[in-house]
Structures are given as C-alpha cells and as structure tokens.
Amino acid sequence: MKIRKKPLPIGISDYSRAISEYYYIDKTLLIRELIDNMPQVSLFLRPRRFGKTLNMDMIRTFFEKSDRDTSKYFEQTAIWKEGEKYKRHQGIYPVIFFTFKDMKFSSWSEVWANIRAAIQREYDRLLTNSMISNLDDSDVAYISRVKDGTLEESLWPGTLGRLTQLLDEVYGVAPMIMIDEYDTPIQQGHFNGFYDEVIGFMRNFLSGGLKDNKHLTMAFLTGILRVAKESIFSGLNNLTVNSVIDDRYSSYFGFTEQEVKKLLKDYDVSEHFSEVKEWYDGYHFGDSSIYNPWSVLSYVAEKCTTKTYWQSTGSNEIIGEVISMGSTELVDEIRSLLMGESKSVYIDTAVVYPEVGKNFSSIYSFLLMGGYLTLESSEALYDGNTMGDVVIPNLEVMHVFEKEILARSGNIVSSEDAIGFQKALMNADQAGMQERLESFLKETISYFDASAEGFYHGLLLGLSAALHRYYDIKSNREAGDGRYDIALIPRRKEDRGYIIEVKALTGLQKNITETELSEELEKAANKALDQIDDNHYADVNS
C-alpha cells in the first residue's frame, strides 16, 4: 500500500504546525547549543528564506511559558533525547516576540505606526489586567498609556527595556526577547528616504532592552545584515554575532547534504540528487556546506522541475542598484563571477545600506551576506574581519545575476527565456535559439539598443555565462589570426564547442522589405562565418 507523504513546509514559519502537519527537518539541537553557551544576546545573520523565522518560532515554542502544554511538540525531536538538563528549560520563560519581516512600507509614519502597534500587542498579551494587579500604581499607569497609545512620543523607545523589568517582576523569571528580521525596516528606510528616522528609533529601542539589562535571560535577533556602524548595537558588549562566515550554529540554517539526501529518498526522487546539488547547493556557512532550503523544498514539490525559486521570494532590487551604480569594472568582475571565476575580497560583516555601491568591499560583503555569493576559502584578519575568495554558489543564483546584468542593458529577460536559450544552445537547437532570441528582443529592446553591436555581444555573453560548468567561456580573446567575440570551449572533449561572431545591421532603409531584410541578414551571417574561417578562430588553444 502506498503511504501518503506529509506535505512539504514551504512558507510555513509556525513551528508547532511544521512539526505536527508537515515534513520537518529537525533543527532542535540548536536549542541545546543555546542552553550550553547561554549567550545573552545573539544575532543570527542569514540570507532570506534560510529558515530564520521557523527557527525563531521553534526557540520561542520551546522556552515560552504558555497556558497549553507545548512540550508535546518536542517529544519526538533530537533535543528531547538530550535529557533533563534541557527539558527543565522548556516552557518556563516569558517571551517578548516581535517580527518585523512584513514591515515593508514606503514612509516612516507607516513603519512607526506598525512598530507601535506591535509594542502595544505585546503589552496586551503579556501584561493582562489580572497579572498587573500587584504592581505599583505608576507601573499600572505606564502600562495603560502604552496599551491605549497615549504614551509620550519620547518614551516609546524605552518600552522594550521597561517591559523586561515589568515581566521579571510579574513572573518572577527574567524574560527572553526575540526579534525576527530586525533589519527589514532599516532596508525600507534606505530605499524610501527615512533611513535616519528608523536608525534613530531602533538604536534606542534595542539598547534599552539589550544593553546591561539584569532583567533579561537571553535575546535572539535575526536579520540579513549587522547594522553596526550607526551604533544600533553601540556598547553592547554582550552581543554574539553569528553570520555566514562563522562556524558556530552553521548547520542549523539551511539544509545539509545529509538532510537533502534523506528528503529526496523519503519522497522517492533520489535520482535527482546531482541536479539538486548543481542548482541549489554551494553555500559555505562557516564549516558547513549548505543547500538553499526554500529552493530544495520547492523543487521536490514541483515534481523536480528546475526553476529559480529563491528569486521569486523577495526583491532583488539591491542587486540592480549595486550593478547600476557600479562602474564598468564592477560589471566586468560580476561577468567573470558568472563564468565561474572567484574574486578575493575583504569581508566586513557590518555592512551599512548607504555604503552599498560606494566601494567594492561593501558591495561584495553585502552580496555575501545576502546569499548572492559564498566563500570558497577565507582567512581571519587581525581586525576581526575576513579576507576571502567569493564565488557564485550555484546555477540558481547565476540566473539571478544574469537577469540583473541583462536588465542593466535595458533588457528584462525572464529566467525562463534565459534557461530556454541555454538549453537550446547546448542541444544545438538552432530554431530554439532563434525563437528565444526573437521573442524577448522584440518585446524589450529599443531602436537605439538594436543599432549597437556591443549590445548584442553583452547580451549573448550574459545568456551564455551560466553554462560555465560545461564550457570555458571567453570573450574578445586572440585566436588564430584575429580576435573572436565569444568562445564556448567544452570542458569535455566529446562535447560540441561554439564560436560566436556578432554582426549588427546598420544604415538600413526604413521601408526595407522582408525579402530585402532577409537577404541582408544572410549576407551578415555569411560574413561572420567567413571571418571565423579565414581568421582561424577555432584555433582557440593556439
């Protein structure tokens, strides 16, 4: 009898639902490490969709004091098998929980209104009227002003620290603080012109709750970037930062290879492992090799269809900004990364949004922290930062870069079109290549773009770049008696190689007929072929 498999937890961030109703990959030993190390304030930095929110809810469900029995959600997990040392921490702490992941608004007034509403909800949830009956009148009055929104404007940044003090007194146990995606409002401030306002509030809000707070057991924050240079965490000597370059906790965000193999086996698709590895593996978090969890789950759910699943989960506008603001040298370097090369860079985990695009160090640091690049090798420096060789991790991310680089030239080429062109190229499907090229060129290019040979050169180079695993891709190199435009040299001798010579028709009459145009195109094509033969471009290794 065929056993019905559990659904995959795509987009599920509620731990109790994930463990009860879905296929869950056990990450509960993260709790063991937190209890063993007892870091007072931990900042977990990972790219989007790498399990930060689900892990935060797992930690919350384990530690939080609740009216319901939440131990049942851990009885079959790895943490429960670790014994009484860990079980005794389950369900005994009041937990202050904020998630800022959906605070994607275009003005500070909207962001501020939503942050204030979140604070009010936590005061309502954690300090009911029956709980605060024994507090001083001044405390009760303060709580009332927070709940009804009449608290003085200048006092709102202090509400986090004051809440820990009140909960410690009410429950007799110092609470925990959890803030998921703390940097989302900061990113919105950068893009929408209220960066200084959001930084000013967050600095005082976090400092009040996290700095030298005797009413705090532990605090956990997640995000993509460590926003440190604006002093958001100023003087916070109890902060432990765990980023993509750190070994500790490195296997708990994203899937390890062992976990991926088990998932594929459980869903009877083990034969697709090599494809999953090529498309969605390649991340190096500390000493762990990690697969993109969102993409792996989506791939299995979509009957093992290769797509850029991660690209659709959030905005890649920062990549477009970086590329559009960068120099020609930067674009050339990104093209070299697309061809499988590495780049040695200085990594500063304390990236600041306004600095992105101003220097190469901040650009590559941001791309690394955001999951667009990964470390191939690294070396710790005396200042606490890192020198490392960065690469594009896998085919999925290559297609993200490919799209943004093509967009920079005024062409919005879909991933589907790009992948379709590449498949046609590898299969020597001339009709398929022509169909793809004609389709998106007609829809996207302008007359001015169409007049430039260099435009087409860049377009074809970008479309071909993701094939670097199969070809050594070279551009404008000397060969034979001249210099070819693009060469795709197969890495396996039995595979077909390609020489691409680009020709653009210029000076055509506006009233040219279809027949005349076809004749001109054929002439240009034959000229390109003659140039390849006459100059011996195929002698690319000479």
Residues 308 and 433 in one domain: no
pLDDT tens for residues 77-113?
Answer: 999 999 999 999 999 999 999 999 889 999 999 999 9
Residues 362 and 439 in one domain: no
Q: What share of the chain is helix, strand, coil (3-state, %, to 5)?
A: 50, 15, 40
For 239-360, strand residue ranges (E) read 239-242, 283-285, 288-290, 343-347
- Does the pTM of the predicted model rise above 0.85? no
What pLDDT is recorded for position 260? Answer: 98
DSSP-derived 3-state class of residue 232: coil
Residues 276 and 360 in one domain: no
Tell me whether residue 251 is in a domain: no
Residues 322 and 302 in one domain: no
Q: How many CA atoms lie within 13 A of 63 on its CB side?
A: 27
Tell me whether residue 403 is in a domain: no
What pLDDT is recorded for position 356? Answer: 65
Tell me whether residue 216 is in a domain: yes
Tell me whether residue 200 is in a domain: yes
Which CATH number covers residue 22?
3.40.50
Max CA separation in the chain (angstroms): 94
What pLDDT is recorded for position 1? Answer: 39
Tell me whether residue 4 is in a domain: no
Residues sharing a CB contact under 8 Å with residue 512, sequence separation 6 or more, in sequence order: 520
What pLDDT is recorded for position 231? Answer: 61
For 488, phi then psi, to 5°, come to -110, 100
Mean pLDDT in consecutive groups of 10 residues from the start of the chain, 542 residues: 78 96 97 96 94 97 96 97 97 97 93 97 95 93 97 96 97 97 90 90 93 95 75 77 92 97 97 96 95 97 93 65 65 79 84 66 83 88 80 90 62 63 83 80 57 71 74 81 86 85 77 84 89 84 50
Domain hosting residue 168, numbered range: 15-242
Residues 307 and 323 in one domain: no
DSSP β-bridge partners for residue 390: 343, 375
Q: How many domains does the chain have?
A: 4
Tell me whether residue 285 is in a domain: yes
Closest CA to 178 of 62, 90, 80: 62
Residues 86 and 128 in one domain: yes
Angle (CA) 236 240 241, round 5°: 110
Q: Could you write out the DSSP letters of every residue in 452-485?
A: -HHHHHHHHHHHHHTTTTTEEEEES-EETTEE-S
Residues 185 and 92 in one domain: yes
Tell me whether residue 435 is in a domain: yes
Tell me whether residue 401 is in a domain: no
Looking at 266, 291, 312, the residue that finishes a domain is 312
Residues 337 and 291 in one domain: no
